Copies of this chain bind each other. A is one copy, B any other.
Amino acid sequence: MLTQKAKYAIKALIFLAQNKGLVKTKDIAEKARIPKKFLESILLELKSHKLVASIQGAAGGYYLLEEPSGITLALIYRIFEGPIALVPCASMNFYQPCSDCEDEQSCQIRAAMIRVREQTLKVLESITIQQMVDGEDKQQA
């Protein structure tokens, strides 16, 4: 399951995609029903990953840096949830040896989990913010 934070991030990105140009945090918070203070920290995180940029000051706000069609669920997932793999030793972007692993090369779980990660990654990379904006019906073709 996604954390609330990741879900808010998706909602915020959808809102930014639907409102091209500069948007105030306050507007996103109200229209997308996200606690404003919490949203601020989420936007900063998105900014640090170059998905959005901001302008400070009274006429400031946030805007998308990437095409909505280029923002995949895989990308968002990795920012807010970390590894897509089910075990650290099967991760591409967050590889870590498992704490209790004896021999990684012969690990039966790891081999299976790498296959799971490969498939899951395909799925998460196939879903984009643009698709969510367009809605389900436009996926048919």
A contact residues vs B (CB 8 Å cutoff): 1-2, 7, 10-11, 14, 33, 73, 82-83, 85-88, 98, 100, 102, 108-109, 111-112, 115-116, 119-120, 123-124, 127, 131-133, 135-136, 139
Contacts and interface: CB of A to CB of B under 8 A. Distances in A.
Copies in the complex: 2
B116 A127 contact: yes
B127 A87 contact: no
A86 B14 contact: no
Nearest to A119: B123
A115 B127 contact: yes
A14 B107 CA distance: 11
Contact of A73 (B10, B33, B83, B112): B112
